[in-house]
A and B are shown apart, each in its own frame.
Chain A
Amino acid sequence: NAGVTQTPKFRVLKTGQSMTLLCAQDMNHEYMYWYRQDPGMGLRLIHYSVGEGTTAKGEVPDGYNVSRLKKQNFLLGLESAAPSQTSVYFCASSYQGERGTQYFGPGTRLLVL
């Protein structure tokens, strides 16, 4: 049982490049989330999904897209990376409902030059 895994762990991009961050969970959770963590800002929700095939915007969705084609995977895409997207990205998953404690992945550190 690996829990929540994220790939890659670290990536350097040039401005304008694109990339996809992958999140996978093996706990059969319905809900999945993408957050970004910036110094002094805590964690902010980018997008989330309440089930396979559904996605919704969070607090800071601009510049990102997501897809949830399979229940266990949640992809975060950057179509044209900007230096402002330099951050640490965390994926989380949870069961539906009040018992839904969120479990976090180890994070992906992204540097956009």
Chain B
Amino acid sequence: GNSVTQMEGPVTLSEEAFLTINCTYTATGYPSLFWYVQYPGEGLQLLLKATKADDKGSNKGFEATYRKETTSFHLEKGSVQVSDSAVYFCALRNSGGSNYKLTFGKGTLLTVNP
């Protein structure tokens, strides 16, 4: 079956530090990969996605590259801000099928201090 493994948090950084949150996956076929962000007290929002190998998703200064050879989709940002403090979820969705369900990792809490 499908599974997503994220680095466990919490992750605490100072403002302007470099961020990496690791994500690896197990899936059959060629899944699409996603990063969702959950700000305190809110629902999940799509941050970025990649639908095929070597694609790079990017948004709000965050990037992630779909690496099929290492089955990874690590999230990076060069300079974090206090406003980036949130929980980040890596997720996958198998191609084909009829329901397009997402399989989520357990989430990584990021705290950015001024």
Contacts and interface: CB of A to CB of B under 8 A. Distances in A.
Contact of B44 (A43, A45, A58, A98): A43
Nearest to A30: B100
A85 B51 CA distance: 34
Given A48-B101, A58-B101, A98 B43 contact: no
Interface in A60-113: 90, 92, 94, 96-98, 100-107
Nearest to A6: B43
A33 B32 CA distance: 18
Interface string B62-105: 00000000000000000000000000010000010011111011
A21 interface: no
A31 B49 CA distance: 19
B26 to A, nearest CB: 15
Nearest to B8: A40
A69 B106 CA distance: 32
Interface residues of B, number: 22
Contacts of B45: 104
A56 B99 contact: yes
A106 B51 contact: no
A96 B99 CA distance: 8
B11 to A, nearest CB: 15
A45 B92 CA distance: 13
Contacts of A107: 42-43
Nearest to A48: B99
A50 interface: yes
B17 interface: no
B43 A105 contact: yes
